[in-house]
């Protein structure tokens, strides 16, 4: 049982370093073989090795004629065989060439391909080549892509269309992946109602649940939907009690200063709790801890705060638990299409777009406005203690980097 509150603000880097260290201390180790068709978004548990050279044999990169370069003296050559993709060629008869098509194996003895645009059939059926010929041209050598036994994808690779295509090209029908992390999503707040239900006085629809469920699925997690948790101590205790089997309990709401903090109270009693104050805006308060050994992360409830803290902190944490090394989003430096005259204590993540090559923030940056993020293409970073003039360079993190 322990509890602590940070007295000074934690920088994003400090918070991220702490979370990544926690993730590395609690790695997901179990693995399973999953068919390629079901392995999108999953993380490779073992390096994927090339079971054979790729391509397995030298082949033609062009439709044309295959020859031994040394046989060519500028005179026409007879065509001694025709090699389609998918066929097995005979060795090339010395002093002849072979009609060959893209992807067809090179016949033994041939080392060069002339594309058909540079070849002309004479009336006797022999081919004359024009243009420069370089030895080895238009041939894809055996093992050009990889050689047998080579690591083609390291463990910890995230699998998407390209990686799965690469695995398919090597003949894998299934791949060894980490099991999906089970993440429980809890939405706290008496005011929350699920869409489809009538809204009573003072109530709003629960949007964070939907954001997090869709997002977690994109990250390859298995979601346990904990539903809406009323602001009530015994219900909170009971809800947590039912979540013993998950890898992470992710809650939103109820971490604002001054609020009756039921989640925190249960963690203090039955686990561990640290209340973080982050030097970012939106997204200052964050609860971290564990409940009976299960890590718990409590994100602030305002929709834009949930988005920023999930994208910048929970996402890399989860990926690192799966053994993913590159968890930082790719970002770009772009000129600001706005100015910022009041230096802030906290780093701001503005929901923004790129217009004419410049970063333009959504007009209303209230953390309650999720529409700002739907409009936006990314998060524009305005550093703490700093001002910006139009045209100054700032960091822009595309939402597409965070969402996948
Ligand atoms: P809290 O962190 O509980 O003080 O919530 C901060 C703000 O976010 C309040 O305006 C809440 O109504 C709102 N909020 C909390 N949870 C959700 C949710 N799941 N969906 C939409 N808004 C929420
Ligand atoms: Mg609340």
The answer to whether the CB of 302 is under 6 A from ligand 1 is: yes
Residue that the structure tokens 């010929």 belong to: 133
255 pLDDT band, cuts 50/70/90, is confident
Ligand 2 mean position to 154 CA, how many Å? 42
7 pLDDT band, cuts 50/70/90, is low
Contact 72, 172 (CB under 8 A): no
> Residue with the nearest Cα to atom 17 of ligand 1?
301
Neighbours of 298 (CB within 10 A): 27
pLDDT of residue 8: 87
Query: Is the bond preceding 282 in cis, omega lying within 30 degrees of 0?
Result: yes
Ligand 1 mean position to 404 CA, how many Å? 24
pLDDT per residue as tens digits for the range 31-61: 999 999 999 999 999 999 999 999 999 999 9
| CB-count burial class (<10 Å; 0-12, 13-18, 19+) for 339 | exposed
Residue that the structure tokens 């030097």 belong to: 279
> Residue with the nearest Cα to atom 8 of ligand 1?
302
Distance CA 77, CA 80 (A): 9
Distance CA 261, CA 255 (A): 7
Residue 4 predicted with pLDDT over 80? no
The average confidence (pLDDT) of the chain is 96
Q: Would you give the end-to-end CA distance of the chain in angstroms?
A: 36
> Residue with the nearest Cα to atom 10 of ligand 1?
302
The mean pLDDT of 79-85, rounded to a whole number, is 98
How far, CA to CA in Å, does 260 sit from each of 15, 285, 397?
24, 14, 34
Ligand 1 mean position to 364 CA, how many Å? 18
pLDDT of residue 321: 98
The answer to whether the CB of 206 is under 6 A from ligand 1 is: yes
Which ligand is nearest to the Cα of residue 205, counting in written order? Answer: 1
Residue that the structure tokens 């009336």 belong to: 123
Which ligand is nearest to the Cα of residue 190, counting in written order? Answer: 2
pLDDT of residue 1: 39
Question: Can you say how many angstroms the Cα of residue 338 is from the centroid of all Cα atoms in its chain?
Answer: 30
Distance CA 93, CA 104 (A): 17
Contact 182, 247 (CB under 8 A): yes
| CB-count burial class (<10 Å; 0-12, 13-18, 19+) for 197 | exposed
- Which residue of 206, 212, 252, 372 sits with most ligand 1 atoms within 8 Å of its CB, as the best mutation to test the pocket? 252
The answer to whether the CB of 208 is under 6 A from ligand 1 is: yes
Residue 364 predicted with pLDDT over 50? yes
Give the chain's domains with CATH numbers: 12-30+179-321 (3.40.980.10), 35-53+145-178 (3.90.105.10), 59-140 (2.170.190.11), 332-403 (2.40.340.10)
Percent of the chain surpassing pLDDT 70? 97
- Which residue of 201, 253, 264 sits with most ligand 1 atoms within 8 Å of its CB, as the best mutation to test the pocket? 253
The answer to whether the CB of 309 is under 6 A from ligand 1 is: no
> Residue with the nearest Cα to atom 1 of ligand 1?
253
> Residue with the nearest Cα to atom 5 of ligand 1?
301
Backbone CA torsion sign across 341, 342, 348, 352: negative
pLDDT per residue as tens digits for the range 276-309: 999 999 999 999 999 999 999 999 999 999 999 9
Distance CA 23, CA 295 (A): 9
Ligand 1 mean position to 202 CA, how many Å? 12
Distance CA 242, CA 294 (A): 12
Q: Which residue has the higher pLDDT, 278 or 254?
A: 278
The mean pLDDT of 65-91, rounded to a whole number, is 97
Ligand 1 mean position to 301 CA, how many Å? 4
The answer to whether the CB of 259 is under 6 A from ligand 1 is: yes
2 pLDDT band, cuts 50/70/90, is very low
Pairing relationship of beta strands 271-277 and 280-281 according to DSSP bridges: unpaired
pLDDT per residue as tens digits for the range 340-350: 999 999 999 99
Phi, psi of 276 (to 5 degrees): -100, 145
Distance CA 397, CA 44 (A): 26
Q: Could you give the angle at the alpha carbon of 332 between the alpha carbons of 326 and 347, nearest 5°?
A: 85
Number of helices (H) and strands (E), helices first, in the chain? Answer: 9, 27
């Amino acid at each position: 049982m322990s509890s602590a509150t940070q007295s000074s603000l934690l920088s994003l880097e400090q918070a991220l370093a702490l979370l990544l260290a926690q993730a590395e201390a609690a790695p997901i180790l179990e693995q399973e073989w999953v068919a390629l068709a079901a392995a999108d978004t999953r993380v490779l548990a073992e390096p994927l090795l090339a079971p054979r050279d790729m391509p397995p044999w030298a082949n033609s990169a062009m439709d044309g004629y295959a020859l031994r370069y040394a046989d060519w003296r500028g005179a026409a050559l007879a065509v001694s065989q025709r090699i389609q993709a998918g066929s097995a060629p005979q060795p090339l008869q010395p002093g002849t060439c072979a009609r060959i098509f893209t992807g067809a194996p090179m016949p033994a003895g041939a080392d060069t391909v002339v594309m058909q645009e540079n070849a002309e059939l004479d009336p006797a059926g022999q081919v004359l080549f024009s243009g420069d010929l370089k030895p080895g041209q238009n041939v894809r050598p055996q093992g050009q892509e990889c050689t047998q036994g080579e690591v083609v994808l390291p463990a910890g690779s995230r699998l998407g269309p390209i990686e799965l295509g690469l695995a398919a090209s090597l003949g894998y029908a299934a791949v060894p992946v980490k099991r999906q992390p089970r993440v429980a999503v809890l939405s706290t707040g008496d005011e929350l109602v699920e869409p489809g239900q009538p809204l009573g006085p003072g109530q709003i629809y629960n949007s964070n649940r939907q954001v997090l469920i869709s997002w977690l699925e994109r990250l390859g997690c298995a979601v346990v939907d904990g539903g809406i948790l009323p602001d009530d101590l015994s219900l909170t205790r009971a809800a947590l009690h039912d979540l013993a089997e998950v890898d992470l309990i992710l809650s939103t709401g109820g971490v604002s200063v001054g609020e009756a903090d039921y989640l925190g109270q249960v963690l203090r009693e039955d686990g561990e709790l640290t209340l973080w104050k982050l030097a970012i805006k939106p997204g200052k308060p964050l609860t971290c801890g564990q409940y009976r050994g299960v890590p718990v992360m409590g994100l602030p409830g305002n929709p834009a705060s949930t988005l920023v803290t999930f994208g910048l902190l929970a996402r890399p944490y989860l990926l690192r638990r799966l053994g993913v090394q590159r968890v930082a989003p790719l970002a770009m430096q772009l000129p600001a299409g706005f100015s910022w005259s009041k230096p802030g204590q906290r780093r701001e993540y503005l929901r923004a777009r790129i217009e004419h090559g410049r970063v333009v923030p959504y007009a209303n940056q209230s953390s309650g406005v999720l529409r700002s993020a739907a409009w936006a293409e990314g998060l524009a970073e305005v550093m703490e203690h700093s001002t910006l003039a139009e045209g100054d360079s700032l960091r822009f993190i595309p939402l597409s980097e965070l969402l996948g």
